[in-house]
Amino acid sequence: MDFVHDVIAWKRDGRELDEPRVRAFVDGVVSGAVPSYQASALLMAMVLRGLSDDETLWLARAMIDSGKLLDLSVLRRPVLDKHSSGGVGDKVTLVLAPLVAACGAVFGKMSGRGLGHTGGTLDKLESIPGFRVQLPQGDFLRQLERIGVAVVSQSERIVPADRLLYALRDVTGTVECNGLIAASIMAKKVASGTSALVLDLKVGRGAFAADLAQAKEIGRLCRAIGTAYGRPTTCLYTAMDAPLGRTVGNRLEVEEAWQVLKGEGPGDVREVTLALAAELLPLADLGLDAAEARARAEAALDDGRAAEHFERWCYVQGGRWQPGEFHRLAAHEVKAPAAGYVTAVDALAVGRAAQLAGAGRRTVDDTVDAAAGVLLERSVGDAVQSGESLAAVFSRDPARRREASTVLETAFTVGPDAPPARRIVLGREDAATAG
Ligand code: URA
């Protein structure tokens, strides 16, 4: 029996791995010496037995060392980044990135694509005709220097181990492990040169963390890795029981982000964006505290500067941004079965409906339809009459439209009484918070 077999058996029996074993596993996955069936077996043992804090840090370290490290120090300014653990209707990066630049700081991000029921920023940006998400490293740096904002796709050479492991986890039911999630998120952030990071950890049905306790555990592990690498990491915990905003689907979400950039749009998207800006901007070289940061960000949304920076950013990255100018697909409406109040909108069901409509991928090789998605006409707390529209699903394909609307119908709960007001920001913890 070979070494990998023994490592799998060791973990299966609930024993802690040591650093050399973790490193041998990661190196073997990258070199191809560890076949995917053995890697999957070890991942499953990790999910079932959990990872200790040390195992999580060793895993992150081995993953970071599997590729190149990007050095952003030539910019001589802190480069800020935020990362979301993934949600439904989460278009916050589209607003926050130009907003941070409009406030005088630098926002640079390597981002991912949507997988499963969660959306990805790159797919949203690519719904703008011409928008280029693949930039050579030199262009990425020059753009940050010139306009203070750039969002690009993850370079193939950064953390190759995560790309391989994440693809396996996605198809073997092994995403849901706090240590694996924390190592995967933080390895990419450390390797891509981020100076200071705010994590938006989503909580609820539409997120990887079902409750606040689990999100806090992922946050604690992420902060420990950030501290080990000298990258101060702040965690914001935000609600993902219902979708964020009223749109789910790539181009629909860009349109909604544009509304928020103009000082309009849904209050929950604005609130999460401002809460993140209040965490991020004090980490820049602007001498702002959290209250000043929030006030500056609010002003930039309301006086048009954030929208102006979004237009400039699109232009420089090749995008031809024309609000409202996209092909509207045929829609199927979901109607209220009774009069009352919307008491819940299940983010997972809405995410799945949007994915079925064509907005998301079923496999990594799938293409997405930029115009497909879901528009929520009513959200939690809204009053509705019997037979009124709750939501519309847009898809090019009538069969997919029908299938998606059947799932979408299950997302809504309508009751006789108005629900209590929802809290969107559920808590925060920074690098100094005891783990
Ligand atoms: N996001 C990541 O980057 N990795 C995970 O494992 C989960 C969410």
Q: How far is the CA of 103 from the centre of ligand 1 (A)?
A: 29
Q: Is 184 in the pocket of ligand 1 (CB under 6 A)?
A: yes
- Does domain 2-50 fall under CATH 1.20.970.10? My reply is yes
* Per-residue DSSP letter, 1: -
Q: How far is the CA of 406 from the centre of ligand 1 (A)?
A: 29
Catalytic, 184? Answer yes
The protein residue with its alpha carbon nearest to ligand 1, atom 5, reads 181
Q: What is the pLDDT along the chain (435 residues), one digit of tens a residue?
A: 488 899 999 999 999 999 999 999 999 999 999 999 999 999 999 999 999 999 999 999 999 999 999 999 999 999 999 999 989 999 999 999 999 999 999 999 998 776 667 778 999 999 999 999 999 999 999 999 999 999 999 888 999 999 999 889 988 889 889 999 999 999 999 999 988 899 999 999 989 898 999 999 999 999 999 999 999 899 999 999 999 999 999 999 999 999 999 999 999 999 999 999 999 999 999 999 999 999 999 999 999 999 999 999 999 999 999 999 888 899 999 999 999 999 999 999 999 999 999 998 877 677 899 999 999 999 999 999 999 999 999 999 999 999 999 999 999 999 999 999 999 999 999 877 645
CATH T-level assignment (fold) for domain 73-322 = Pyrimidine Nucleoside Phosphorylase; Chain A, domain 2 (3.40.1030)
Distance between CA 27 and CA 24 in Å, rounded? 5
Ranges for all domains in the chain classified under CATH 3.90.1170.30: 331-415
Q: Is 208 in the pocket of ligand 1 (CB under 6 A)?
A: yes
Q: Is 186 in the pocket of ligand 1 (CB under 6 A)?
A: no
Provide the Cα torsion 363, 364, 367, 373; round to 10°: 70
Catalytic, 153? Answer no
- Does domain 331-415 fall under CATH 3.90.1170.30? My reply is yes
Q: How far is the CA of 179 from the centre of ligand 1 (A)?
A: 10
The separation between CA 110 and the C-alpha centre of its own chain, rounded to angstroms, equals 11
Residue with tokens 């555990």: 217
Q: How far is the CA of 35 from the centre of ligand 1 (A)?
A: 22
Distance between CA 41 and CA 39 in Å, rounded? 5
DSSP code string of 89-130: S--HHHHHHHHHHHTT-EEEEEE---BTTB--HHHHHTTSTT
Catalytic, 83? Answer yes
Substitution site in 175, 200, 214, 240 for ligand 1 pocket (most atoms within 8 Å of beta carbon): 175
- β-pairing, 79-84 vs 106-111, is parallel
Ranges for all domains in the chain classified under CATH 3.40.1030.10: 73-322
